Amino acid sequence: MKIEILGVGCPKCKQLIANVESAVKELNIQAEIGKVTDIDKITGYGVMMTPGLVINGQVVSSGKVLNKDEIKAIISGGECEKNNSGSCGCCCN
């Protein structure tokens, strides 16, 4: 699994990185976690508000710091924007 955090290093971006690392650790999964700070690459994903979260090449959140549980739900296939239910509290709202 490849996880990318999009942002230029603001406190919200740093918090999202910490939350992602914590979620991955709790789920006990192997993941390559990277940071994308280049504005052109960030906008290339269609993200206009940071922080952004990309999992396996798909933007799953932008403009919000997801908490650890929201990230765990997305990673483990829980509800997220894919079904537009809004119940996960991530970018669906």
Please give the torsion angle defined by the CA atoms of residues 57, 71, 15 and 60, in that order, rounded to the nearest 10 degrees.
30
Mean pLDDT across 69-84: 73
Residue 10: active-site member: yes
pLDDT value at residue 37: 96
> Would you state the CATH architecture of domain 2-75?
3-Layer(aba) Sandwich (3.40)
Q: Which residue has the higher pLDDT, 76 or 93?
A: 76
Determine the pLDDT at residue 81: 46
pLDDT for 7-51, tens place per residue?
A: 998 999 999 999 999 999 999 999 999 999 999 999 999 999 999
In the predicted model, is pLDDT for residue 62 greater than 70? Answer: yes
The catalytic position among 13, 80, 88, 90 is 13
Domains of the chain: which residue ranges? 2-75
Task: Decide if 91 is catalytic.
Answer: no
- pTM for this one? 0.81
